[in-house]
Structure 1
Amino acid sequence: MKEKHVKATLEFLHYVLPDFTILNKMLQSDEFKLHKLLPEARRIVQSLCANFMQEEYIDDTINKLPDITNEAKWKIVSEVYAGEEAAVISRSMVPHERESFLKRCRQWYIEAVNQIGKRINFDDQILRNLVSLDPRKLKNNQSTISAGNALAHRFSHMVTSKSMIDRQWRSLYFNREFLKKAPQGITAFWLHVSEEDSYKSLGEFACQLLALPHSTATVERVFSKVSLNKTKCRNRLGLVTLEAVLTTSQCFKGNFVSDPTLFELYSKAFYSYKARFSDCDRERYENEDQEQPLLDV
């Protein structure tokens, strides 16, 4: 590639874009990721700011965006960091081309931080308290002792007693032995907590919080699956069957391996269905979208 500034720009993008890919995957995930959103966004913003701002102006525990518009806090143009590969290429440029390239990189950083700030509120109390649900934070004593009470007040419609949630949270917070033996994954951890009588209300409340949506990506995937299944060739596919197909797709991700037990259940269900409904009855039943089950397996 002959144009140095083009090659340097591509290397710069190769350096900065992976962090945004990580953030995008988090927002598009089917699993609960809200407890990781704020720490990850904070890390990315700090990393971006460190590339063009003086380090003394970057707070390690930022609860709001740094003042990136204040030029007095910027590094001089020659010290703007664009990644190792881009830096090597930029050193071989003539001075005015190198200065222009680094200014463009700095402007890219500023716009990136602004765009993150528009989408994520670093001072949002809900996001800050949801971080404490992370089992690793609890086990390493990095959670906030008041998080349980704060979440119970914010989602008071989901609890029967705010004081009970607060009491159980504080008890769990200091129960090192229980935390040490609990599973690592956030869903498995709070299911395990809900099975303990001493923390049953807290565990059930936390499991409800894990159902909070963090984007529309999951819903959009369902609509895409509907389009893939209800095609022109399958336009008479009933609602009950379509729902069963989508549920199966959601529950059995990846490679599905059958076994004799599943085959036996399928055969029993299939012949039971055939015996109970004629072709006309099945079509009418599925399109009416009745609530009672089709099969007794």
Structure 2
Amino acid sequence: MHRTKCTEMINGVLAPYFLKKLVADVGDQRFSLLLDESTDISVSKYLGVVIRYFSDTKQTVVSTFLGLVELEGGDARSIACAVVGFLVKCGLKKEKLLGIGTDNAFVMTGVNNGVHKVLKEEYGLKDLVLIRCVCHSLQLAVSHASNDTIPRSVEYLVRETYNWFSVSPKRREAYKAIYETINCGEKPLQITKVCATRWLSIEPAVSRILDQWEELRLHFSVTKSSEHCYMAEVLYSMYSDPQNILYLTFLKSVLGEVQLAIKAFEGEQVDPLKLLESLVSLIKSVSSRVLNPLAKTDVLKGPIDGDISPKPYLGYLFESKAAELHLVPEHEINVRKRCVAFTISLTNELRVRLPDNIEALQYMSVFNVEETLKHNKSPGEIGKIAKLLGYSPADIDKIVQQWRAIHLSKWNETKNTMSFWSEIMKFRDAADINPFQELAMAAVSVLSLPHSNAEVERVFSQMSVVKSKLRNRMSLQTLNSILYIRYGLKLS
């Protein structure tokens, strides 16, 4: 089959089939959208749209590709208009849009002129829920916490170590020879790159550098003499400073905790009701490093600056390394002060940046199996959630009554949240009626709310694979069609 006929087959037959199948699966249910902007290899600006909904065929909440929309302008009204127009084009009702998940860009989340605000006020979606990506929020919290606390030289050390080897095979071979000599022929792992816009990307690089610290120090010691290179001399002096290894040891421990939380939110197969627990645990765990054990401060509600322990324990790795290095007392005190300041700042940044996300995750946690099947549960919380989601008073009354009575029936799927609500969605009584229909629909709607923008990032990764340098003239229609087929086959 030649190129023209193959393209027509993709655009005219296969892609419309998978899109029609997706829209039919969404049906009349409420859904959420994940939105983000990106540019392709031809510098065309696109809005990536991912839909998140409860699939009748899969009987679970799924996130899948809905389309790429070319943007004529980058302002909020242009983006909002593009979103609504695209929903109409796909055959989806904009009134069924429950929430949008975005990064923390001002054009998306602005209080007065953001996309969320425009959709609510100018397109009649007054109950639209905005979920800021938790992963982006964690990244920003770490970045801001490090600005005035961790010395810039630490990031410089990590970045320039990567740059030293990235452009020179000769340097890599010289270091490889030193490393293999010291480690009985074992090959060194490559130092990873630090992303300029993601401060948290420093964590994998920090781990690699700490594992190879002595080998790297020896390499720069030899190189500064053999190459007469000023950069090698600077890096050698930094690797010879024990304060730097202490800073990196501290960062490895703290940033490792944050990375685990991010991976939980980025996962494709995660229980959304356990995400709130992960987020709260992260904030409490970070604060516990410096918080006075006798303090009664609620770290989720107020700053912790006034309840710091006089002798904070900064983790086993840090304390054992500090004891091993025998730093000059003044230097160790300075490092400890900066690490404590970073921990305090990070805790406060997490608290300030995540209140909306915590509230959204609290909505989800109400629908976990244990909470739903309690005998003495309060109906007030479920009524409040239903009202925030835009249900009418009559529907709220039905949802509350069904919430009160649901524990009176016997259910089989009580271990997994989605399986539990899927069973309730399919339940029929003697009259072939589902007495919990409204409650089940509300539950799967809330579970369809996004918690991160990771799926949109995956779409952009696929976009870069499909529209590459060799295929830089590919049209938007063909690009969309290929992605429809890829994601459609994945869902099948």
TM > 0.5 between the two?
Answer: yes
CA contact (8 A) 2:369 2:420 kept: yes
The 5 Å alignment of 1:1-297 reads 1=214, 2-30=240-268, 35-58=273-296, 62=298, 64-70=300-306, 73-76=307-310, 79-91=311-323, 92-121=326-355, 125-135=359-369, 137-138=371-372, 145-157=379-391, 161-172=395-406, 174-175=407-408, 177-178=410-411, 181-196=412-427, 197-231=434-468, 233-234=470-471, 242-250=479-487
Divergent runs of 4+, >6 A: 140-143
SS in 1 for 2:355: coil
Structure 2: state its 5+ residue gaps.
Answer: 1-213, 215-239, 428-433
Report which of the two has the higher share of helix. Answer: 1
TM-score (norm 1): 0.69
CA contact (8 A) 1:27 1:33 kept: no
Q: Which deviates the most, 221-230 or 121-130?
A: 121-130
The amino acid of 1:38's aligned partner reads: L
Change (3 A) 1:35 1:102: same
Q: State the alpha-carbon separation in 1 of the partners of residues 375 and 479 from structure 2.
A: 47
Change (3 A) 1:124 1:176: same
Q: State the alpha-carbon separation in 1 of the partners of residues 375 and 318 from structure 2.
A: 40
Q: State the alpha-carbon separation in 1 of the partners of residues 290 and 275 from structure 2.
A: 24
* Count of residues paired in the alignment: 246
Change (3 A) 1:81 1:193: same
Q: State the alpha-carbon separation in 2 of the partners of residues 35 and 123 from structure 1.
A: 13
Q: State the alpha-carbon separation in 1 of the partners of residues 481 and 424 from structure 2.
A: 32
Q: CA deviation at 1:16?
A: 1.3
SS in 2 for 1:191: helix
SS in 1 for 2:305: coil
Change (3 A) 1:15 1:25: same
Q: Which deviates the most, 233-242 or 199-208?
A: 233-242
Change (3 A) 1:220 1:88: closer
CA contact (8 A) 1:168 1:198 kept: yes
Q: State the alpha-carbon separation in 2 of the partners of residues 176 and 19 from structure 1.
A: 41
CA contact (8 A) 2:399 2:438 kept: yes
CA contact (8 A) 1:15 1:82 kept: no
Q: CA deviation at 1:43?
A: 1.2
The amino acid of 2:321's aligned partner reads: I
Pairwise CA RMSD: 3.4
Change (3 A) 1:166 1:126: farther
The amino acid of 2:443's aligned partner reads: A
Q: State the alpha-carbon separation in 2 of the partners of residues 26 and 164 from structure 1.
A: 34
CA contact (8 A) 1:165 1:202 kept: yes
The amino acid of 1:166's aligned partner reads: V
Q: State the alpha-carbon separation in 2 of the partners of residues 120 and 95 from structure 1.
A: 38
The amino acid of 2:291's aligned partner reads: M
Change (3 A) 1:142 1:228: farther
Change (3 A) 1:111 1:86: same
Q: State the alpha-carbon separation in 2 of the partners of residues 24 and 132 from structure 1.
A: 22
Q: Larger relative contact order (C-alpha < 8 A, sep ≥ 6)?
A: 2
Change (3 A) 1:204 1:244: farther
Q: Which deviates the most, 240-249 or 8-17?
A: 240-249
The amino acid of 2:322's aligned partner reads: S
Change (3 A) 1:47 1:143: farther
% identical equivalent positions: 22
Structure 1: state its 5+ residue gaps.
Answer: 257-261, 263-297
Q: CA deviation at 1:123?
A: 9.5
CA contact (8 A) 1:148 1:166 kept: yes
CA contact (8 A) 2:276 2:358 kept: no
CA contact (8 A) 1:152 1:159 kept: no
The C-alpha deviation readout for 1:162-183, integer Å capped at 9, x for no partner, is: 11111112222x34842xx215
Change (3 A) 1:48 1:231: closer
Change (3 A) 1:154 1:97: same
Change (3 A) 1:3 1:139: farther
